Structure 1
């Protein structure tokens, strides 16, 4: 048997391909150009004499050969991550405290699975969510009432560090029999005569209003609800329209409860960051939690993209 070409970087590339479903997004995940990543994959395929994935599928689909290497990648990277956590525990100890504050209503869809995975890795770290919705979660860091905040903006503040989590697309949802249900892209003016169903938060925290409607001078009627499922029910009942993350509404779209459209030709992109006190940013369990959030989210939520 010839000497193996496989290196850890190849395994990380295969994982990124599986999690993002595209070569362009995978390249961003592993900090390569698309050309460099394609060259890396081609070298692997030539070495084994087998294609690793089908190039004309969207999302990308692995061949049996690709699936075998992907299984190896998952096994090896999981064992490396476990060994690195052990190194951190030996250096820093196993205990700590991680109180999380959030400003987004849909965060719990991905936050809870990440917390469950983290607890298995760090059982001695006290993990908790600061109760209630917080319009200023970063302020809780400064007063030491929280240790990590999930926020949609990275506003520079002394003593606060930000780490990007991921970007995602917001879509408009409407009833299946809405007059514009067949329109693939909505522009700002399409919202003018609608009732916008939203979470009860300030306008500055809603990307649809901040990035699209207000710059266009559009200010639709409003109705609010605390719960995502309640918003979707109101939309399905033709009480209005809503803008929600694609990953949050995808199950309801698949079941045919509501219809969706892109907001603007390029789509409305939103971002999520983790904010933490600068003097805590190097803590091993803190960094492992952020890694777990990204790993779990990219593996389970559709339509995420890398936030640089």
Structure 2
């Protein structure tokens, strides 16, 4: 019996379930919203029934949609497992995956991804290059690391990049700080304030690189290695900070600090996986990047798709 159902349809249904939105699901599967809607309409026309309620928010599946969604939940993990098995047959199961990171907040999502990866590739030696790395791409070229998590896809000979995700940065201050009265912080609001940051070069801080330094604003700094210490200093009115939304959300919910949008359009940051071009086709590297994206979108609030 012929079937209209294709793997792309099942991926679309899973994206709809995860995001609860047609527009967000389209970004997740790298389609335009109209192309995704066309996929859904083709299924609905074929079966003669809607798959989800158009005006619900978040999106709610009909019984027919739930049945196809269950098929997607059952089948797609089997497809992924078969693809991993084929890669092991062709490339072998063993390898080395040493990670280098330049991001202090990466471990919020990196550790769960590593935990999911290990049982899938038990003979791949997975490790983190110890310490914060100011030049993780350099470690790739020196063969001291195999994959680097970086905030810019700067063209470099012998290096290729895979987009992971984009995320929102928010400004945080104490509840009784004068800036708490503003809903949006512009560059000028940081002038004269003490900016609490991680101890990294300015060009690794998106707030400085994208917002403040282009406006000639270079506020005094105070540094801390630990996110919780930064938040504690902010809550004590020792300064203000800019951190990923997913990092500060638990402290906002507990009313320790308040968060505000940075610039009218918001401050977006990006993360990429960098690897040596010669290694880019290795199945376990590709699979690790996919796991990072899927786990991060499932676990962290405020992410958006970073286009290829």
Task: Name the TM-score class by shorter chain.
Answer: over 0.9
What does residue 248 of structure 2 align with? 249
What does residue 22 of structure 1 align with? 21
Tell me by how many angstroms 1:24 deviates: 2.3
Q: Does 1:62 align with 2:56?
A: no
* Change in CA separation of 1:53 and 1:243 when aligned onto 2, cut-off 3 Å: farther
**TM-score, structure 2 as length reference:** 0.93
Which stretches in structure 2 are left out of the alignment for 5+ residues? none
> SS at 1:197's partner residue?
strand
* Per-residue CA distance 1:242-279 (angstroms, 9 max, x = gap): 11111111222222221111111111111111110111
* Per-residue CA distance 1:25-72 (angstroms, 9 max, x = gap): 321222321112123234444535245255352xx3333534544333
* Change in CA separation of 1:219 and 1:122 when aligned onto 2, cut-off 3 Å: same
Contact kept, 8 Å, 2:98 with 2:128, in 1: the verdict is yes
* Change in CA separation of 1:138 and 1:68 when aligned onto 2, cut-off 3 Å: same
**How many residue pairs are counted as aligned between the two chains?**
305
> SS at 1:181's partner residue?
helix
> SS at 1:100's partner residue?
strand
Alignment root-mean-square deviation, CA: 1.8
> SS at 1:110's partner residue?
helix
* Per-residue CA distance 1:192-223 (angstroms, 9 max, x = gap): 13211100000010000000001111121211
Structure 1 runs of 4+ with >4 Å offset: 2-5
| Range moving further from structure 2, 224-233 or 70-79 | 70-79
* Per-residue CA distance 1:109-131 (angstroms, 9 max, x = gap): 10100001000100110000000
* Change in CA separation of 1:199 and 1:284 when aligned onto 2, cut-off 3 Å: same
**TM-score, structure 1 as length reference:** 0.93
Which stretches in structure 1 are left out of the alignment for 5+ residues? none
